[in-house]
Chain A
Amino acid sequence: AQKITQTQPGMFVQEKEAVTLDCTYDTSDPSYGLFWYKQPSSGEMIFLIYQGSYDQQNATEGRYSLNFQKARKSANLVISASQLGDSAMYFCAMSHYGGATNKLIFGTGTLLAVQP
């Protein structure tokens, strides 16, 4: 069965420092996608970054990078130069085939607090 695990319920980081949010996954599908979303207290889920299972290089989007280690089944999010506005809940998610349409399953989330 497909599963996403985020083992860090909460994290603190100093402003301007880098932080790594952990995510491991389990699937037997050869083709899947891995996503990170940010959810501020306002509630909107904001897409941050995507990594496909066949992508050779780690994905990067501005200050976000995804450390994809396929053999270890991990897809950690690295946020460089943290800002106060990065304080939010972060969800790792995996897209897997659910029949006619792919399903997105989420981890339990990591609450990040950026301190000045």
Chain B
Amino acid sequence: DTEVTQTPKHLVMGMTNKKSLKCEQHMGHRAMYWYKQKAKKPPELMFVYSYEKLSINESVPSRFSPECPNSSLLNLHLHALQPEDSALYLCASSLTGRLDTQYFGPGTRLTVL
């Protein structure tokens, strides 16, 4: 089983709202990732957690706040977003984070009004 789940599938929020995206995997993977993907572009890495510790932050604005409460769960907290933050947000996981295959979830389509 290589399933990564993400909720919600779609999210519409105003610029003053606070919302969270959730990602879950039960494959025993110890690395989890957040990507942002704009239309017709490749995914761009945002954050990486390795063994529940933040190991990579690709200079993402502080209005995006990641959290890894345990090895199976990854959250992305959103606050005061801008319309240009509207995108597909993809979560992925891999076994160790070292040259291993990343498995992606179905994504959350976010629209910021």
Contact = CB atoms under 8 A, between A and B. Distances in A.
Interface of A: 31-33, 35, 37, 42-47, 50, 52, 91, 95, 98-104, 106-109
B69 to A, nearest CB: 19
Nearest to B88: A43
A99 B106 contact: no
B98 A101 contact: yes
28 contacts: A31-B99, A32-B99, A33-B99, A35-B102, A42-B106, A43-B88, A44-B104, A45-B90, A47-B101, A47-B102, A47-B103, A52-B99, A98-B48, A98-B56, A100-B50, A100-B56, A101-B31, A101-B50, A101-B55, A101-B56, A101-B98, A102-B97, A102-B98, A104-B102, A106-B42, A106-B43, A108-B41, A109-B42
Interface residues of B, number: 27
Contact of A103 (B2, B45, B88): B45
Contacts of B31: 101
Among A31, A98, A101, find the residue whose CB has the most chain B CB atoms closer than 10 A.
Answer: A101
B55 A108 contact: no
Contact of A35 (B98, B101, B105): B101
Nearest to B48: A101
Interface string B26-60: 00000101000000111101001010000110000
Contacts of B98: 101-102
B62 to A, nearest CB: 21
B107 interface: yes
Contacts of A108: 41-42
Contacts of A45: 43, 90, 92, 104, 107
B77 interface: no
Given A35-B102, A43-B106, A99-B55, 13 more contacts: A33-B99, A42-B106, A43-B109, A45-B107, A47-B101, A95-B99, A95-B100, A98-B48, A98-B56, A99-B56, A101-B55, A101-B56, A107-B42
A104 B103 contact: no
Nearest to B97: A101
A33 B101 CA distance: 9
